[in-house]
């Protein structure tokens, strides 16, 4: 007889959260945004613990609130997948690697300063970080920019950030209000069409 596949227990899920965030944090250089494609692969594609829409919501929230992006992501994803315990475990997992690395770098900082080999290593790392961020942008764009309104908001937001140097948090808040306004207008138009349709049937 074939063995039935066991569902992951809460303990296994917490351990998995810790391992995944520890691993991602240990190899991701350049901030929380570089973690996006790795987290998407782990929690959306591989384990199906979250949907692509959930991941987009997480990114929008962590960009709108103060704090370290990687830690904020760990808290939100951990909470969504395993509650308060998941948020705590994921946060611990994501914090340990950078703390250890920072302590080591601080001890070797003066020895690495001006070292040509170290400079070449960091140049390569920065190039890889750019590729990860670009991958995140492409994947998120495919799931978000599916109608004219999000496309227009994205283009305007990009121009405001690049040309006019608008504050990113303010831009996100303004975009949220724009989304609410557009949704309200759409609902109002729908009601008006329904009322007109009802009046037409009465005639």
3-state secondary structure 162-192: HCCCCCHHHHHHHHHHHHHHHHHHHHHHHHH
List the chain residues with pLDDT less than 70.
1-9, 30-32, 109-110, 112-114, 197-203
C-alpha distances out from residue 63 to 57, 58, 59, 72, 169, Å: 10, 9, 6, 9, 7
Give per-residue pLDDT as tens, 79-134.
998 999 999 999 999 999 988 888 887 777 667 666 777 777 777 877 887 887 78
pTM tops 0.75, yes or no: no
CA pair distance 122, 102, nearest whole angstrom = 15
Per-residue tokens: 51: 């949907």
Position 113 scores a pLDDT of: 66
C-alpha distances out from residue 73 to 41, 119, 128, Å: 15, 30, 21
Position 98 scores a pLDDT of: 87
- DSSP 3-state assignment of 118? helix
Position 3 scores a pLDDT of: 41
C-alpha distances out from residue 132 to 66, 76, 89, 112, Å: 23, 21, 25, 26
């Amino acid at each position: 007889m074939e063995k039935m596949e066991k569902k992951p227990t809460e303990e296994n899920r917490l351990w998995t959260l810790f391992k995944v965030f520890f691993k991602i944090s240990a190899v991701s250089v350049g901030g929380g945004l570089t973690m996006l494609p790795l987290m998407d692969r782990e929690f959306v594609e591989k384990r199906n613990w979250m949907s692509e829409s959930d991941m987009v919501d997480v990114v929008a929230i962590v960009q709108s609130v103060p704090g370290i992006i990687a830690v904020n992501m760990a808290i939100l994803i951990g909470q969504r997948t395993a509650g308060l315990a998941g948020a705590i475990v994921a946060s611990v997992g994501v914090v340990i690697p950078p703390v250890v690395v920072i302590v080591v770098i601080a001890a070797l900082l003066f020895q690495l300063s001006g070292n040509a080999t170290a400079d070449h290593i960091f140049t390569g790392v920065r190039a890889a970080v750019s590729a990860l961020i670009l991958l995140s942008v492409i994947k998120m764009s495919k799931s978000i920019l599916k109608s004219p309104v999000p496309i227009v908001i994205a283009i305007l937001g990009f121009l405001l950030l690049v040309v006019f140097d608008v504050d990113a948090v303010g831009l996100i808040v303004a975009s949220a209000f724009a989304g609410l306004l557009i949704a309200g207008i759409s609902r109002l138009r729908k009601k008006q069409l329904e009322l007109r349709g009802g009046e037409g049937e009465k005639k």
